Structure 1
Amino acid sequence: MKKILLSGLLAGMLALPMTGWAQAPDRVDYTEQVVLEGAGRNALYARALDWAQHKFSYTPTSALVAEPASSAIRITGTGTLKPVDDRGKDQNLSVLFTFRFQATDNGYTYHVSSFEVIPNPQAPSQRVPLEQYQTELRTDRNNAKTHNDRRLGAQANSLASEAAMSFRSFMNSQPAEDHVGAADEQQGAQ
């Protein structure tokens, strides 16, 4: 009985069209919501803006939009992905991504998303969404050898995680209020 059932399942799987087995491109999107009691919307916004202006290392940057009224920040950063050619040599491919921040009364949310590839460095204004570029790579006859579609997806995920860790580390390393430590110094002086 088990053999008949297994044979039926195997035959059914083989009968499915192979396009149904193709891997769909994954969106690269890192999102985190952080809850902080009593930190204050304005203080969180000011720290995030300081990071975006001075510590955001994915240069060149563009489109820094700071909205103090809504405590929101958006900045576009640049990174490098490394597909390989047919001989296995690394190629450099520029990619743009967007970092978004939103402070609330009880914490903040941030996103690293909207990855766009610049396939031709001579035409930087021509951008292709990463998912579309990965789909184009899948149709390349050498993709079975290079696996560039998966390679670029993994590298973009790594870039998103790295940017998120940099931001979160900066936010965690700063004191919650400007006067932390000042009271200790005053008490020690008395």
Structure 2
Amino acid sequence: MSITTRRTFTISALALLAACGRPQKPSKFERYSGAPITQVSINKGERRMHLLSGSTVVKSYDISLGNQPVGHKQFSGDGKTPEGIYYVDRFNPRSAYHLSVGISYPNAADRAFAASQGRDPGGDIFIHGRGPDGNNLFPRQRDWTAGCIAVTDEEIQEIYAALMPGVPVVIYP
């Protein structure tokens, strides 16, 4: 065996041994192979979120809302979760809340209303996991977000994998 071949073999063997000795951290990214999700339906009063394919409920989740859960979000810092029709518009794999899926709040009507009041409508509304902050607050405080929709970290992994950009998110009072 030549020195180059021996060196390559030794480096390969060491890399293999190093990988075998280290426990692998489970990935937070899952694959989704079910029916395509065509809508997310959120009922704030029931604290339930449903993923739908057509008119069929594929999966349902208990949710937490903004710390002021009654009423439609109007302004930055009001602690309310929006109501109305929005869309999935982004994905954040590095969320402080495990994973998060962005919702297109504020829409044109939300921006116009806030402007008419001389206020900022706010933004950064997500469906997200609990992360460390939420795990520390829930279940002591049911609604704890700044206006987002929260599920468990395990559940956001399923949701994150199942959704695509542009899926409508309908939020009912």
Q: Give the structure-2-normalised TM-score.
A: 0.32
Higher relative CO (Cα under 8 Å, sequence separation at least 6) belongs to: 2
Structure with the greater alpha carbon radius of gyration: 1
Q: Give the structure-1-normalised TM-score.
A: 0.30
